[in-house]
A and B are shown apart, each in its own frame.
Chain A
Amino acid sequence: PGRARSDTEALAHPPPPPPPSRAPKSAGPVKVGAVPNRRLGGVHSEPMATLPGRRARLSSPGTSRLSSEAREELRRRLQGLIEDNRVMIFSKSYCPHSTRVKELFSSLGVEYNILELDQIDDGANVQEVLSEITNQKTVPNIFVNKVHMGGCDRTFQAHQSGLLQKLLQKESTYDYDLIVIGGGSGGLACAQEAAILGKKVMVLDFVVPSPQGTSWGLGGTCVNVGCIPKKLMHQAALLGQALKDSRKFGWEYNQQVKHNWEIMTEAIQNHIGSLNWSYGLSLREKSVAYVNSYGEFVERHKIKATNRKGQETYYTAAKFVIATGARPRYLGIQGDKEYCITSDDLFSLPYCPGKTLVVGASYVALECAGFLAGVGLDVTVMVRSILLRGFDQEMAEKVGSYMEQHGVKFLRKFIPVMVQQLEKGSPGKLKVVAKSTEGPETIEGVYNTVLLAVGREPSTRKIGLEKIGVKISEKSGKILVNDIEQTNVPHVYAVGDVLEGKLELTPVAIQAGKLLARRLFGGHSEKCNYINVPTTVFTPLEYGCCGLSEEKAIEIHKKENLEVYHTLFWPLEWTVAGRDNNTCYAKIICNKVDNNRVIGFHILGPNAGEVTQGFAAAMKCGLTKQLLDGTIGIHPTCGEVFTTLEITKSSGLDITQKGC
């Protein structure tokens, strides 16, 4: 019944007008060989969309003996070609029958995709699998709108009988051109862009409540339980500091200033509510269908959507984008899901968390610890090994020591083994037992709240990926894609935090999603560039970076080829406020063998995020030390420190600021 429904749906919604490149039938210049811009099988190829006569390449290591796994893989890829092309011709370049068929479609002005079996490495395998699919051993082997036409003669017969034209007119048999699973930053960006390009798009978004029962609206992690509330709580912490500073700048008010968690949280949740609302509105304006249901693949082109009441609906689409993101990981110890909270719960917590243990040393852990301490709470961070894995470790340690100086306690080389409730309440009292990572030592502590921030798991294991054969990394659960965000199943793409080996950042997902839609539906070829992506950690002193960490730079370029310039600096605003004069730090890493190009940029200081953005653009443009030196500073800002970096780390010269 699902399929029948979708057919009527397809008729009810006429396809968008054909792009102008589709020439009038049998008149004017004929465009042939238009191939969707993508590659198959993990080998790079140039976009071929506008080059007539270019052939689709199906490159994969060719052997005649196929393992069952490889055969399955090949079958899926062929299925993809068949399903994703209005006309798909499997051919051999020298075959006269094939040529006749090509001429027929050209004369009809119909775009087609060709795979020349004699020009690919595994042509024999393709032919074999094709014969399994179609019972036809010879080429040409023609598919029109996913229907197997047969060979040359059958196609010409169909042309004469009018069947071919009928098949060609049946543009799409799917409910949607695109279904996006996950209404986070990446999914929404992709959906909206596709809709702008005239496609029929659906977004499925469903928040599985956290173990503590927290759920939220449209927009994904960033808006609801990520960047937005975290930056606002960071701002609350900064304002706490501003209040202290302000007295030094002459402001006078009551001595005892306390912080009210509920007022802050309510204000933040109100803002988030308005964002959820505006996302919904924006989807509606762009005619994107939004369904608040959980999506699971049931067939290659069919998805089951289950709403909160358990009602199931099926939708089909030509293409899919998986943008389901990630959710906080739990420890798998006694009491963790019962008593601990995660960042999914923190930002809407209806009561002040009180004395808090933050478990983990990810940026989520440190940011939360930073702002909780900043609003006046007693905060301890329990760290298994290092801070901010993957970030520049010198910077990470500086972040840690700043936090320590500002009241955050660190318990290093311990992991919790048990969480017990001593007392219920809002907040209650929890006992945490932790074990040393280096010996048999165990410690105990009592906290009001335990916040787990030990990493995030991609939401990929319960969305039916196994049913359609989308490959994930079994270890991380992340989805493997090529450089155009395509999974091993050609009509299924993925963006955002679910991607293996890519950055888990909102603007990256947005960029990837937008560019993906433009490539799929807008004839663009630009790919998302995951190099030199800037980011900032708000701890609450900000750490901004772009490019390589010092460790990574040494690993890639060797220490002798690098020059690191650095300095401590004292923001002018901190002087009068009497704040630390040797905390803020600027560092760049230059590649000496490449014109002293800046390959790593790091800053620890106020507004580091704002400072870093422009330098990220400069690094996109190939910033070198010389160009940096030639840039004139803006006085007095923190950013100007980068225009006057002189001391190299290798010189060992003193970089401390003298102060007064």
Chain B
Amino acid sequence: AKDRLSSQTLPENSATGSTSTAITEPRARLQAYVDSHSVVIFSKSTCKRCTEVKKLFKSMCVPYFLLELDQTEDSWLVSKPIGSGVTALGHSPVLFSERRKLCGHGPTLKAYQEGSLQKLLKMNGSEDLPGTYDYDLIIIGGGSGGLAAAKEAAKYNKKVMVLDFVTPTPLGTKWGLGGTCVNVGCIPKKLMHQAALLGQAVRDSRNYGWNVEEKVGHDWGKMTEAVQNHIGSLNWGYRVALREKKVTYENAYGQFVGPHRIKTTNNKGKEKIYSAERFLIATGERPRYLGIPGDREYCISSDDLFSLSYCPGKTLVVGASYVALECAGFLAGIGLDVTVMVRSILLRGFDQDMANKIGEHMQEHGVKFIKQFVPIKVEQIEAGAPGRLKVVAKSTNSDKIIEGEYNTVLLAIGRDACTRKIGLEAVGVKINEKNGKIPVTDEEQTNVPYIYAIGDILEGKPELTPVAIQAGRLLAQRLYAGSTVKCDYENVPTTVFTPLEYGACGLSEEKAVEKFGEENIEVYHSYFWPLEWTVPSRDSNKCYAKIVCNMKDSERVVGFHILGPNAGEVTQGFAAALKCGLTKQQLDSTIGIHPVCAEVFTTLSVTKRSGGSILQAGC
């Protein structure tokens, strides 16, 4: 970590030639100004309002860094629309962005009058800044995004620390390094999904000539142990990777305590303070509870499910998020009695046409749905592994009350960002008070310039592992390698494993209609029957392919949707194609691979508007 006292400057210095000697890239230099001074004023020497602001800071005896745009020789700075009268408070919540005036003349004076300016300066002011930083970058949260950023930053010889600490669930479940995805998310879920698929494969195999006996059982303990062993090896692998890259890993809970300072608390309660030039918040999310009697005592969440030491038995899944449906899908797939309780719609935010098809398919494969009900009480009838629980639920549109008995109740009603107990208020990082999410710029910077955030805690961004990884890597490259590439949150593909897979990229049909108008979109669609399903005579009109095209833009494909086996694998390449601006014509001229499911997209000819039949004739 570099010594920052030397760059502390007196009022009225000249920008050119001082701090800029080492850094030549203008953007990085600009960032350096902001990062290394608590107050930066971009001004024009002739501007009256600028003078007022300068006077204000002088009267407060606050040193500031001044860059007179009309006097600098740096043409790049001048050419950019920074504008005059922009005040930049380094390390403070109001702030600087080289693209936008976040704080001009008016807001600064107003903040002064209200006293918030003084408070900010005190909180992040020069009097309390560390002399030198322990680290260049401290990352709070060792999940996919945090680890990706840590490893990338370490590549550029930065001194990096990762803080990772898993607060145990109400039932006491905790896990190792790697975050949600590896421990209680994508990885175990996909493996249990695979277990469900293999159950189907065992049934199919008889039709293909394998003489498997009729009686097939499933051993939950064996599966869970195998899954957990794999996860253990990944946890280990991550630690080794951090060590190899010389990233400091501390298994402790991080909380901001002041400007550039963080307090860590390990599981024995031992506290330490570290300082860093920059921070990255990547704390992710944890499952939400209902706030009803018995929920924390008796219910489990996805945090508990994948390492559950006993088979959950008859299970009620509460919620209709993809987590809920995926868990319900694989539990049913390994032979359990599963019911899903849904408040309103399935897979909110996803294409509803697809979501409903998923629901139908799950229903046909034994998952029961209780719609328009919410649990109001969970009682234990009998302790055990699993025990027996009574769930009382209330209709969302009447006074009807129902009761049911289950061995396990799995809550999957959403996830809350872990942002409320990490001392963000101590450094003034703004969160959306309603959902706890952190708003950031398109460069993942919070309102406090030296604090960044990535991953599931970001407001309005997709909550997906590869997004967090991409954002983390690109952020580190921008901060430490002079890159300017930003993370593109558009056309992010994703897949829901229910266990029939639903892959999507781009817009849902609803969203496309909303954005372009119904008359300007053309939807092409088709059912298809995977060849592998024909011999075991599995459902012939379940798999479905749909693309949404913008007619006003040469039928560019703006939405891609597929429900079918291996939809994840199918979708990935098409996501790359969407990135390349795929049009319907290009899709048509792409030659199919025969016989695979994905080839259906090369021959889509029926539009939804036409009402033409898309049913497969079968035999």
The smallest beta-carbon distance between A481 and chain B, in angstroms, is 17
A529: Cβ under 8 A from any B Cβ? yes
The smallest beta-carbon distance between B37 and chain A, in angstroms, is 34
| CB-nearest residue of chain B to A609 | B596
A271 touches B596 (CB 8 A): no
B230 touches A575 (CB 8 A): yes
List chain A residues, Cβ under 8 A from B213.
253-254
- Write the B493-532 contact mask toward A (1 if CB under 8 angstroms, else 0): 1110000000100000000000000000000000000011
B534: Cβ under 8 A from any A Cβ? yes
**Which B482-502 residues have C-beta < 8 A from chain A?**
485, 488, 492-495
A239 touches B205 (CB 8 A): yes
CA distance A508 to B590 in the complex (A): 10
**Contact A658 B237, CB 8 Å, known A242-B202, A617-B590, A621-B580:** yes
**Which of A227, A250, A274, A636: most chain B CB closer than 10 A?**
A250
A642 touches B576 (CB 8 A): yes
**Which A623-639 residues have C-beta < 8 A from chain B?**
623, 627-628, 630-639
- Write the A520-543 contact mask toward B (1 if CB under 8 angstroms, else 0): 000000100100011110000000
| A contact face: mostly helix, strand, loop, or mixed | helix
A4: Cβ under 8 A from any B Cβ? no
A634 touches B209 (CB 8 A): no
List chain B residues, Cβ under 8 A from A640.
466, 572
Which of B85-93, B165-173, B192-200, B264-272 lies at the binding interface? B192-200
**Which B523-545 residues have C-beta < 8 A from chain A?**
531-532, 534-535
B59: Cβ under 8 A from any A Cβ? no
B573 touches A612 (CB 8 A): yes
Q: Which of A268, A544, A576 contacts B191 (CB 8 A)?
A: A576
A351: Cβ under 8 A from any B Cβ? no
B339: Cβ under 8 A from any A Cβ? no
CA distance A138 to B535 in the complex (A): 68
A121: Cβ under 8 A from any B Cβ? no
Which of A158-166, A230-238, A446-454 lies at the binding interface? A230-238
A240: Cβ under 8 A from any B Cβ? yes
CA distance A278 to B616 in the complex (A): 11
B223: Cβ under 8 A from any A Cβ? yes
The smallest beta-carbon distance between A252 and chain B, in angstroms, is 4
A124: Cβ under 8 A from any B Cβ? no
Q: Which of B186, B211, B577, B579 contacts A630 (CB 8 A)?
A: B579
B606: Cβ under 8 A from any A Cβ? no
B216 touches A251 (CB 8 A): yes
A250 touches B223 (CB 8 A): yes
List chain B residues, Cβ under 8 A from A622.
580
B209 touches A637 (CB 8 A): no
**Contact A627 B535, CB 8 Å, known A239-B205, A249-B195:** no
A466: Cβ under 8 A from any B Cβ? no
List chain A residues, Cβ under 8 A from B467.
632
B602: Cβ under 8 A from any A Cβ? yes
A511: Cβ under 8 A from any B Cβ? yes
**Which B554-601 residues have C-beta < 8 A from chain A?**
566, 568-577, 579-583, 586-587, 589-599, 601
**Contact A536 B466, CB 8 Å, known A264-B208, A278-B619, A612-B573:** no
List chain B residues, Cβ under 8 A from A620.
577, 582, 586-587, 589-590
A628 touches B576 (CB 8 A): yes
A172: Cβ under 8 A from any B Cβ? no
A557: Cβ under 8 A from any B Cβ? no
B201 touches A232 (CB 8 A): no
| CB-nearest residue of chain A to B219 | A250
B186 touches A636 (CB 8 A): yes
A259 touches B210 (CB 8 A): yes
The smallest beta-carbon distance between A607 and chain B, in angstroms, is 5
Q: Which of A235, A236, A242, A613 contacts B593 (CB 8 A)?
A: A613
List chain B residues, Cβ under 8 A from A250.
195, 218-224, 226, 334
- Write the A597-622 contact mask toward B (1 if CB under 8 angstroms, else 0): 00000000001011111111110111
A573 touches B534 (CB 8 A): no
List chain A residues, Cβ under 8 A from B582.
617-618, 620-621
| CB-nearest residue of chain A to B205 | A239
A375 touches B209 (CB 8 A): yes
A274 touches B619 (CB 8 A): yes
A536 touches B593 (CB 8 A): yes
CA distance A607 to B213 in the complex (A): 28
**Contact A634 B572, CB 8 Å, known A227-B594, A277-B619, A617-B577:** yes
Q: Which of B191, B215, B572 contacts A614 (CB 8 A)?
A: B572
CA distance A313 to B609 in the complex (A): 46
| CB-nearest residue of chain B to A506 | B594
| CB-nearest residue of chain B to A271 | B534
B205 touches A614 (CB 8 A): no
- Write the A222-266 contact mask toward B (1 if CB under 8 angstroms, else 0): 100001100110011001101101101111111001111111110
List chain A residues, Cβ under 8 A from B21.
none
CA distance A610 to B595 in the complex (A): 9
CA distance A267 to B215 in the complex (A): 22
B204: Cβ under 8 A from any A Cβ? yes
B593 touches A535 (CB 8 A): yes
B211 touches A632 (CB 8 A): no
B493 touches A634 (CB 8 A): yes
A636 touches B572 (CB 8 A): no
| CB-nearest residue of chain B to A249 | B195
B383: Cβ under 8 A from any A Cβ? no
B596 touches A613 (CB 8 A): yes
| CB-nearest residue of chain A to B536 | A267
B236: Cβ under 8 A from any A Cβ? yes
A660: Cβ under 8 A from any B Cβ? yes
Instruction: Given contact pairs A263-B208, A643-B572, enumerate 14 new A-B contacts (beta carbons under 8 Å).
Output: A228-B531, A236-B210, A240-B210, A246-B202, A249-B194, A252-B216, A252-B219, A613-B592, A613-B596, A623-B577, A628-B576, A632-B464, A637-B495, A637-B569
A-B pairs with the 7 shortest C-beta distances? A614-B573, A639-B572, A250-B223, A613-B598, A264-B209, A621-B580, A274-B619
5 contacts between A and B (CB under 8 A): A232-B534, A249-B223, A620-B582, A620-B590, A639-B573
Which positions in B face A, CB cutoff 8 Å?
A: 181, 186-187, 190-191, 194-195, 198-199, 201-202, 204-205, 207-213, 215-224, 226-227, 229-230, 233, 236-237, 334, 464-467, 469-470, 485, 488, 492-495, 503, 531-532, 534-535, 566, 568-577, 579-583, 586-587, 589-599, 601-602, 617-619
